[in-house]
Amino acid sequence: MYSLEIKNVTKKFVTAKKELLVAVNDVSFAIEQGKIHGLLGPNGAGKSTLIGMISAMQAADKGVIEVEGIDVGARPTDVKKMLGVVPQEIVVEMPFTVEEVLYYYAGMYGVPERERGERIREVLTELDLIGKLKDRARNLSGGMKRRLMIAKAIVHKPKFLILDEPTAGVDVSLRQKIWALVRRLNAEGTTILFTTHYLEEAEQLCESITLIDHGRVIKNGKLKDIQQEFSKNVIHFELFDRAVAHMAGVIEVGSDYEFPMTDLGDDLARLTTYYKGNIKSIRSESASLEQIFLKLTNSPNV
Ligand SMILES: Nc1ncnc2c1ncn2[C@@H]1O[C@H](COP(=O)(O)OP(=O)(O)OP(=O)(O)O)[C@@H](O)[C@H]1O
Ligand SMILES: [Mg+2]
Q: Is 88 in the pocket of ligand 1 (CB under 6 A)?
A: yes
262 C-beta neighbours (distance < 10 Å), count: 9
Please tell me the distance from the alpha carbon of residue 186 to that of residue 183, in angstroms, as a whole number.
5
What type of residue sits at position 209?
I
**Quick one: average pLDDT of 240-245?**
94
87 C-alpha to center of ligand 1: Å? 13
Helix axes 142-154, 172-187, angle to 10 degrees: 10
Structural domain spans, the chain: 2-227, 232-285
Planar angle of CA 300, 162, 117, nearest 5 degrees: 135
Q: What is the pLDDT of residue 299?
A: 56
Please tell me the distance from the alpha carbon of residue 203 to that of residue 201, in angstroms, as a whole number.
5
Q: Which CATH number fits domain 2-227: 3.40.50.2300, 3.40.50.620, 3.30.70.100, 3.40.50.300?
A: 3.40.50.300
Contact by Cβ (8 Å): 80, 72: no
Q: What is the pLDDT of residue 301?
A: 45
What type of residue sits at position 272?
T
CA distances from 237 to 71, 227, 255, 288 (A): 53, 20, 9, 19
- Sequence length of the chain is 302
Q: Is 47 in the pocket of ligand 1 (CB under 6 A)?
A: yes
49 C-alpha to center of ligand 2: Å? 7
Q: What is the pTM of this model?
A: 0.84
Query: Which bound ligand lies closest to the C-alpha atom of 164?
Result: 2
Q: Is 22 in the pocket of ligand 1 (CB under 6 A)?
A: no
Q: What is the pLDDT of residues 6-39, one digit of tens each?
A: 999 999 999 999 999 999 999 999 999 999 999 9
Task: Give the list of residues 6+ apart from residue 84 with CB closer than 8 angstroms, or none.
Answer: 153, 154, 156, 158, 160, 161, 162
Task: Pick from 19, 20, 21 the residue to mutate for probing ligand 1's pocket: most ligand atoms within 8 Å of its CB.
Answer: 21
Q: What is the pLDDT of residues 173-195, one digit of tens each?
A: 889 999 999 999 999 999 999 99
100 C-alpha to center of ligand 2: Å? 28
Helix (H, G, I), strand (E, B), or coil: what is residue 119?
A: helix
Q: Is 186 in the pocket of ligand 1 (CB under 6 A)?
A: no
Contact by Cβ (8 Å): 4, 160: yes
Task: Give the list of residues 6+ apart from residue 300 with CB closer than 8 angstroms, or none.
Answer: 294
Query: Which bound ligand lies closest to the C-alpha atom of 47?
Result: 1
**Closest to 36 in 3D by CA, of 216, 200, 210, 231:** 210
